[in-house]
């Protein structure tokens, strides 16, 4: 989610032929470039979907073994830090039971945040659990973690910027349900714009 230039998706698809990777991003420009690169590289086990997290199609519910969000910004970053239902509910519903949500986050005072630490994510663990996402690990990301993300955005952020890695396990099979057991209104939004053919 928030695939950007699709570097990570293309890497996973190229090096893991049995994996089907789906790049989701609200920006058509970034995904278009990634799709052309996939075509030139003859990668056939990747798809590119222009869509924001708030409008993830219901057809993707429970499909993913793993969802990654690397260096989000804008509404995606705000939603993860503020535990916004419009972001967390769709991300959780993408995952199969026992699937993993993996985040690489960087937020500093320069971005309008007080600075994000692993302790901040542990403090939010109970709120994430309401969406069936159990925090398994939160720590300062290593250089190896950052390089493995294949993120060109990480390169632009620089090496001195603090980055937190978090891993969550989908511990509930309550697809699309909030903690109250009702369908998330945001998840019911179904966009037909920019659908791949």
In a 13 Å sphere around the CA of 186, the CA atoms on its Cβ side amount to 17
State percent of the chain over pLDDT 70: 83
**Domain spans of the chain?**
1-51, 61-180
Dihedral sign (CA 185, 123, 137, 50):
positive
pLDDT tier at 177, thresholds 50, 70, 90: very low
pLDDT in tens, 49-75: 999 899 999 999 999 999 999 999 888
Dihedral sign (CA 59, 61, 64, 69):
positive
Query: In this predicted structure, what is the pLDDT of residue 159?
Result: 67
Decide if pLDDT at 183 tops 90.
no
Query: In this predicted structure, what is the pLDDT of residue 97?
Result: 94
Provide CB contacts within 8 A for 15, sequence distance 6+. none
Could you please state the CATH topology (level 3) that the domain comprising 61-180 is classified under: Rossmann fold (3.40.50)
């Amino acid at each position: 989610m928030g695939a950007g230039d699709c570097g990570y998706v293309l890497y996973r698809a190229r090096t893991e032929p049995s994996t089907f990777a789906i790049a989701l991003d609200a920006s058509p420009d970034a995904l278009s470039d990634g799709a052309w690169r996939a075509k030139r590289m003859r990668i056939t086990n990747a798809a590119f979907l222009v869509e924001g997290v708030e409008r993830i199609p219901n057809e993707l519910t429970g499909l993913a073994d793993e969802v990654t969000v690397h260096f989000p910004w804008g509404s995606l970053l705000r939603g993860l830090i503020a535990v916004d239902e419009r972001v967390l509910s769709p991300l959780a519903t993408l995952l199969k039971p026992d699937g993993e949500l993996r985040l690489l986050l960087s937020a500093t005072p320069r971005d309008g945040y007080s600075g994000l630490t692993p302790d901040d994510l542990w403090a939010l663990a109970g709120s994430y659990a309401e969406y069936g996402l159990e925090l398994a690990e939160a720590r300062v990301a290593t250089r190896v973690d950052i390089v493995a993300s294949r993120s060109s955005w990480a390169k632009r952020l620089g090496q001195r910027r603090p980055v937190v890695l978090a891993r969550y396990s989908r511990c509930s099979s309550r697809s699309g349900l909030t903690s109250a057991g009702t369908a998330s209104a945001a998840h019911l939004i179904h966009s037909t714009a920019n659908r791949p053919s």
